[in-house]
Structures are given as C-alpha cells and as structure tokens.
Structure 1
Amino acid sequence: MNPEKIPPEKRAENQQWLFLFGAWLIAALSTLGSLFFSEVMELVPCVLCWYQRIFLFPLAIILFVGLFPLDKNAVRYALPLAIIGLLFTVYHCLLFYGLIPETMQPCSQGVSCSDDSMILFGFLPIPLLSLAAFSSIIFLLLKVRKA
C-alpha cells in the first residue's frame, strides 16, 4: 500500500503504537536487566534500587497490555509510575555522584547506594542506566500522548 494513501488517523495510530512499543521494550529490557543483575550476577539491590523496581516492573505489564489492541489510556497509568521512578532515580544518581551528603542516604543496611558494585564494566553506573530507562520511557509516553 502506498504510504501517501494511508489516512492521517491511521498514520497517527501507527506512530502511537510504535512509541508505546518502544516504551514497553525499554521497560521489559530494563526489568530483565534488573533481574539479571540481582539473580545471575548476585548483586544485592540497595534500598533505592528496590523503590525503582517497584515503579519499573509494572510498566512492562501495563505497556504490554496497552499494545494489543492499542489503548492510549495505558499512558494514563504508566506515566505517573515512570515519573515517580524517575524521581527516585535522580535522587539515587545524586547520591551516587556525591552531590547529596552521606548522612541523607537511605541505605543504612546492605549495599551502599554509592558502592563500587554499582558500576558495570568499570565505567557504567547502574543508577545512570535507570535514569536513561525512565527518561526514555517518559519521552516515548509523551510522544504517544501527542501523536
């Protein structure tokens, strides 16, 4: 079918589906990555990582349910979760980089939020991965809303 013959409503719906699929893919890969770090690599999650997981894991389910058939209302449920998860992630990144004093760290037991075990491959902090995931998901969800 010639792309010029596709009605504008159908084209917008296709774009929305692709943006929602992208958000789901990021949420699903982030969830699997998080489980891989804790279960396979045996990295014990810190308190802030647990809070981020609380807001990340449901996103993979909500966004998947919103894909088939396309349900733009999924954005209504997913966006608040992603924004709250992003707030925890920003706080975690600020702690990790030492911009917030250690006295304000919620990690009193277990793994420290700014421990060296939070760095992958010697240069990639896990909180930064979480920041990228939540930011990308929010961006794509806003694109779904706009399209």
Structure 2
Amino acid sequence: MAKEQGQSGKTGILLYSAWFVSLVAMLGSLYFSEVQGFIPCELCWYQRIAMYPLVLILGIATFTNDTKAPRYVLPLSLLGGSISVLHYLEQKIPGFGGFKPCVNGVPCSSEYINWAGFITIPFLALIAFVLITVTMLLLAFRESRS
C-alpha cells in the first residue's frame, strides 16, 4: 500500500510540474502580448496553439491523476517544441529565413527580447515544451515499469 501511494505521489508531482510549466508559459505569453504590447508573429501563434490546450489537458490530468496523459500531451509538446526550434533558428541564423516568409504583421525573425544574447521568446517557449516533454517521458517510463 505504501509503495502504491509513493508511486501515485510521484505521478502527481510529474503531472503537477508539467501543468505548472504550461500555465507559466501561457501566462508569460499573455504578459508579453497584453501587458508589454508585443504583437505575436505567425510562428508565435502556432506555438500558442500548441501550448494553451496543454494548460487545460494537464490541469485535468493532474486533478484526475491520469497516468495516460503522455499519450495526448506528447504530440502537442513535441509539435510545439519543433515550431519553437524553427522559430529560434529563423531569429538567430542569418539567411535561414524560414520556409514561408511572414508577409503580414510582425516578421518572425524579429526579437522583442534578447536576454544574455540568446534568450528570446521562442527560446523560452522551447524550454517550456522541453520541460513538459521530459516530465511526460518520465511519467510514461514510470508507468511502463509498474
């Protein structure tokens, strides 16, 4: 019985951690756009499309202690992370220029923030997607062993 409670507690911590990261990422993106007035580019919108549902999905999974969460969280986190990598490369590698240049609104190569010379908004999103992916992989590994 104690072993089951320990396993359940570790599952809950992983789910709660992933949910917390998604919530902070969503609130951070809203802060940048609504408070700071940074207009999201097209790739930023795609990253939001991948992140925002994770707040609800991971919130429900945390509340219900759903150990099957990696099945439906990983596709979104991997897709969002891939978009973040593409966006970051477009910002940091001159001439990378994306496969479809942004023609309306803010160019995807613009950098609203550039902390320490490498931390941009897509980099922050990538960190969030990576953290969520790692927690879901740990949860899936833990569940496959039990």
Whether the TM-score (by the shorter chain) exceeds 0.5 is yes
Q: Among 76, 81, 92, which residue is 2:71 paired with?
A: 76
The CA deviation at 1:121 is 4.8
CA distance in 2 between counterparts of 1:93 and 1:103 reads: 10
Structure 1: give runs of 5+ residues left out of the alignment.
Answer: 1-5
Matched, 1:26 2:28: no
The CA deviation at 1:78 is 1.1
1:45-71 alpha-carbon deviations (Å, 9 max, x no partner): 010000000000000000000111201
CA distance in 2 between counterparts of 1:100 and 1:15 reads: 45
| CA contact 2:89–2:96 (8 Å) conserved in 1 | no
User: 1:102 maps to which residue?
Assistant: 97
Calculate the TM-score normalised by the size of structure 2. 0.88
1:23-45 alpha-carbon deviations (Å, 9 max, x no partner): 00000000001011111111000
Change (3 A) 1:99 1:20: farther
1:84-114 alpha-carbon deviations (Å, 9 max, x no partner): 1111111111111116522635322211122
User: 2:8 maps to which residue?
Assistant: 13
| CA contact 1:55–1:81 (8 Å) conserved in 2 | yes
Say what the alpha-carbon RMSD is for the aligned residues: 1.7
Q: What is the 5 A alignment of 1:41-80?
A: 41-80=36-75
CA distance in 2 between counterparts of 1:49 and 1:131 reads: 11
Structure 2: give runs of 5+ residues left out of the alignment.
Answer: none
User: 2:111 maps to which residue?
Assistant: 116
CA distance in 2 between counterparts of 1:100 and 1:72 reads: 43
CA distance in 1 between counterparts of 2:135 and 2:94 reads: 29
- Give 1:126's aligned amino acid: I
CA distance in 2 between counterparts of 1:72 and 1:26 reads: 18
- Structure 1 runs of 4+ aligned residues shifted over 3 Å read 120-123
